[in-house]
Every structure is written in C-alpha cells, then in structure tokens.
Amino acid sequence: MTTRIEAAVLLADPGGPTQTNQTITVADGRVAAVAPAASAATSGNLVMPAFVNAHDHARVVRNSQIGNFDVALEAWLPQLAAIPAVDPWLTAAVAFGRSACAGIATEMAHYTRVQGLTAYLDEAQAVAKAARDVGIRIAFAVQCRDRNPLVYGAQESVLKRLSPAACACVSQKFLGAPLPAAEQVALVEATAAAIEGDGVTVQYGPAGPQWCSDDLLSRIAESSAVHGRRVHMHLLESRYQRAWADKTYPQGILRHLDALGLVNSRASFAHGTWLGADEMELIAARDATIVVNISSNLVLRSGIAPLAEMLRRGCRVAMGLDGVALDEREDPLAEMQLAYLLHKGEGFETRMSREQVLRFALAAGRFAVLGDQDGGAIVPGAAADLLVLDWDALTADRLDDTVPPLDTVFSRARRRHVKDLYVAGRHVVRDGTVTGVDLPALEAELLTTLRRRFGATADIRAALPDLRAALGAHYHPDAFVCS
Ligand SMILES: [Zn+2]
C-alpha cells in the first residue's frame, strides 16, 4: 500500500535544514520518496521523524493519584506498591496508547512492575499484544534483580524503625527470596522465544548494579554476548546510588561493569545522573548508550544529568520519559524543549545544539531500543516512523513568516499539536486519536478497575508512611524533613 503525506514544513533530518511543500511517499513500511509537492501545500502539516522514548516502564498511574509526589527516588519506588494489580493488556495498552498520542513510535518497556495475575510469559504476551494493537515498536526488557530489595546495603536498621505491623507487611511485600540467577537469565530467553517479532524485541533488563549481584550481572553479560541480545539497566540515578557504588566498588562502578562485560554497544544505561567524566569517556569508548530522563530526575529529586557534558565527551545519549512527566502527561515535545532549555548554554555560548537535541530525542534511542541505526530521518529507504504536527495551530498568531520553523517547534510545540503518527507506515494516530484501540474507553475502564481494587493494597499503604520516614532517616539522618 502506498501513502502520500503532504508537508507544508518538513524536518527530514536532525542535521539538515527544514524544507517547505514536500510530498512524502510511503510504501511497504518505508519512505519511498521525498519530493517537492506538485502544488503549494494546503495541508498545514509539519512532518518530522517520530519520537523515541528510550526508557520507560509501561507505567500508567501518576504520582498525584497515589500521593507519591515530592518523594525521593528511594522512597518513591516502594510507594508504587500502593498501585493494585490490574490486567496487563489493559494497563500496557493505556501506556502505549498515551505514548502514541504524544508522538512516540518506539519505546523501551523496562518491565519492572509485574502484575502477577497470570504466569509471566502470559503477561509478557499480553504486553506485546498491547504494543501491536496500538501499533508502536517496543523493546520489552525483562527485569532481573536479586539483592538489596529495600535499601542499598543492610536493611536491618530500617526494619527496626518500623512498627511491628509495618515491619511484617514490608517484609512480606518486599523481602521475598528472588529467583536464582540462572533462572532469571533463562526467563529472558524464554520470553524472547514467546513474544519477539512483529515490532517487539526482548532485552535483558537488570534493574541496576545496586539491585543485581555480580553473579547475576556476569550471567547476563555472558548470555547477552552469546545471543547478541541487548541489555538495558538503570545506572547512577541518585546520589545515594553513587555513594553506594563508590563504597562497594572503590575501583569504580563503570570499570567493574566493564570487567563483567556489560559496557559495550549492546548496552543502554538509564539516567547516568551522577556519572563522572572518566565514566562518560569509558561509555563513549565502548559505544554504549546513555538514556537521560530529565523530568523524572527533577520530580524524583535525583538531580540534573550532565547531558551536554556527556555529548562533549562523545557519548550517544537518548531521551527517556521514565513514566514521570513534569505535568503528569507524557510529552516528548515538552521534554525535548526542557532538555534544550536546561543544556543549551548561557549567554552566547552553545553547549548543546539544536541538532544534538533532535538527535537525542529522535534518533539515538533507536539504537538503544531497536539495535539498529535505521530511521530517525525521513529519507528514501528509512523506516516510515513519521510524526505530523498541526503547523496551522502552531503558527496561528505568527507575525513574521520568515521565522525559522524550528524556533516555533522548540518554543511551543506540545502533544496537543500531534495530528498523526505513522509507525512503519501504519496510521497509528489519526487526527489525534489512536486508531488501534479505543484509548479513552480503556483509560476509563482502567481507572474504574484501579479504584475498585484499591482496597487490595490497604495493608501496605498503611505501612508506607512509616517506611518513608525510616528510609529518610536511613539515607539522610540529619536532613530537614518537611511534614
Ligand atoms: Zn526507570
């Protein structure tokens, strides 16, 4: 099937100029041709490569829904236990549907929250089906973890601070014995055998070095090399992870991971908020990818990742939303703007160029998620992952027609301007509406289900305030605590 898309403005490539009045021809999932339109465009469209969300978790519940705002990462994570288990297809379809509406064609689903209502492989199949029903490409990263379930290091002092009831509940919820390392690795390959293909790939998803034993990490590295399978993990997200890593691996956490065989082109590391210069250089030298999540880091009090410095040192850096948007509505356009504003530089000095920001948001993540360099540009032969913005709405109040289009995109484009999304040529979003599923109906059903089942987490929710206070005292004993 051949599709023609008219572009009043075309941003074909992060490094190239914008063009006007072009026709893009799509056939068999790829861009077949880009040529000047036969007549002056009347479409009112800006067409650009679709976004990549290179770090996320198929999450749907927002912080303000469960009282998890303004909480540091280490206390925020256990608070997620307040969310009741729901049907995995429903929750994943809502997550991916929201992503599609925001202009995301490709997403990492680091599957850290297992609903557990069915067998794992059945759940993975449901998530893969949700991605296919919506129509976006995903990498499903199977979470592996086997240590430090509550804090980085010994947890006894935290448990001692809890009331007996809270301690029993927290122990039951978080301190169960993990699966043996060999079984966790085998589960990744079994998941791949069950769900890979048709827009879905599988990656190893070690939760992070503080949550994975060396035994588990080295088995993952070995199996990743044998199968050529990619690895996605959190790395140095918070100051407390940095402190733990420095104490545990005085030779350097990156050197340690490198010695295990985990720093290579198959690897992508989420966050890197607290990476040092030599660590960035090692990541660049090994051709690994960093995925920076700016809004998430701000909301969860993790800090500001040195994005411009990573680029200066030669790292490939991709953009992630991590399920934590600034205003709780996933918006890669807003995230790209925030990245640019934070890192472009002061005065007349430029530390991060527009081309670099566009590569960060549109191209670099394709390598991390899909493992290939295809796409991220609208040129003949490339994957037809295209985003159409409402150019008329973006420029409705413009005075000067010579304003560069990218000025407009960087200063005001938001998800509400997304008109259409094509993924491999498939019309996944049409006039702002997801075509493959009824997203508003699914969101309503999900909310009803979450409310109905909320009582199921009453016991852990009763223990969480105690736990949050104990974690604060553990990580930061002399901190001012805001009540
Ligand atoms: Zn994450």
Q: For 207-225, write each residue's pLDDT tens digit.
A: 999 999 999 999 999 999 9
The CATH class for the domain spanning 2-49+380-430 reads mainly beta
What is the separation of C-alpha 301 from the centre of its chain, rounded to a whole number of angstroms? 17
pLDDT above 90 for 65 = yes
pTM for this structure?
Answer: 0.97
CA of 140 to the centre of ligand 1 (A): 13
Q: What is the DSSP string of 141-187?
A: EEEE--S-SSSSS--HHHHHHS-HHHHHHHHHHH-PPPPPHHHHHHH
Tally the C-alpha atoms within 13 A of residue 456's C-alpha that lie toward its C-beta. 12
CA of 191 to the centre of ligand 1 (A): 20
- The tens digit of pLDDT for each residue in 352-380 reads 999 999 999 999 999 999 998 777 999 99
CA of 296 to the centre of ligand 1 (A): 8
- The tens digit of pLDDT for each residue in 93-116 reads 999 999 999 999 999 999 999 999
Query: What pLDDT score was predicted for residue 483?
Result: 45
Query: What pLDDT score was predicted for residue 408?
Result: 96
pLDDT above 80 for 51 = yes
Q: Distance between CA atoms of 143 and 152, rounded to whole angstroms?
A: 18
Query: What pLDDT score was predicted for residue 235?
Result: 98
CA of 74 to the centre of ligand 1 (A): 12
CA of 218 to the centre of ligand 1 (A): 22
- The tens digit of pLDDT for each residue in 222-274 reads 999 999 999 999 999 999 999 999 999 999 999 999 999 999 999 999 999 99
CA of 146 to the centre of ligand 1 (A): 17
pLDDT above 60 for 481 = no
CA of 56 to the centre of ligand 1 (A): 6
Query: What pLDDT score was predicted for residue 41?
Result: 60
Average of per-residue pLDDT across 399-404:
94
Average of per-residue pLDDT across 409-414:
97
- The tens digit of pLDDT for each residue in 136-174 reads 999 999 999 999 999 999 999 999 999 999 999 999 999
Q: Distance between CA atoms of 90 and 87, rounded to whole angstroms?
A: 5
CA of 57 to the centre of ligand 1 (A): 7
Which one of 3.20.20.140, 3.40.1390.10, 3.40.50.300, 3.20.130.10 gives the CATH number of domain 51-376+436-446+453-467? 3.20.20.140
- In the chain, where the domains are located: 2-49+380-430, 51-376+436-446+453-467
Q: Distance between CA atoms of 369 and 277, rounded to whole angstroms?
A: 25
Answer for the pair 415, 103: CB distance below 8 angstroms, yes or no: yes
